[in-house]
Amino acid sequence: MNRIDQLYETSSQPATFAKGYLDYLREVLSGLDVEAIGNFIGVLLEARERGARIFFIGNGGSAATASHFANDLAMGCRSWEKPFRAVSFTDNVSILTAVSNDYGYDEVFVRQLQTQMQRGDVVVAISASGNSPNVVKAIEYAKANGAFTVGLTGFDGGQLKELAHLNLHVPSNKGEYGPAEDGHIIIDHLVGSYLLNFCRAEQRGEQ
């Protein structure tokens, strides 16, 4: 039984459960590797500098995080003359359904990479388990074709943790999607907040 289920077994009272969840989330977040986060920020800044594109992929809740991350970089940093060229591959319903129908769901991300990705681009895969076949296939393709790959994982990290050039791991137990995905969106907001301020300082001539 994972910690979230244990919390409910211990007390099903909403307020008690809420306190236990937040206490556990603080514990999970304390295990984040800040050096890896710093390295990720560096990867994004380097991609911006050379005009490379940054693609985000994920399923379910991670699909929403992919969209959120792309928005926070491309729009949220307000750097119009030197933008972060961030795109989420989870947002085009026509593409997702066409590829799934014609080739299978395992192909939804790799087919988009085949038409959009160039050498030197960055591919960010978000997956709590790290084992989603469409994510794994996309990262394998990206690595083989000259992209830099980043994983955001939970649980034990799965295949994605081993495949990605850089991995940001949220140390949660198997099946704890809430804390894993909470960690991923916090990384999004942390990174976005830093880059927004970096771009503001740059525009003031301080970088």
Q: What is the pTM of this model?
A: 0.96
Structural domain count of the chain: 2
pLDDT tens, residue by residue, 135-173: 999 999 999 999 999 999 999 999 999 999 999 999 999
Q: Are residues 109 and 13 in the same domain?
A: no
Do 9 and 74 lie in one domain? The reply is: no
What is the tens place of the pLDDT at every residue in 102-132? 999 999 999 999 999 999 999 999 999 999 9
**Is pLDDT above 80 for 206?**
no
* C-alpha span between 167 and 152 (Å, rounded): 6
Tens-digit pLDDT profile for residues 46-103 = 999 999 999 999 999 999 999 999 999 999 999 999 999 999 999 999 999 999 999 9
Q: Are residues 123 and 39 located together in one domain of the fold?
A: yes
- Together in a domain, 63 and 21: no
Look at residue 207 and tell me whether its pLDDT is greater than 90: no
Q: Are residues 169 and 192 in the same domain?
A: yes
> Is the domain of 44 the same as that of 18?
no
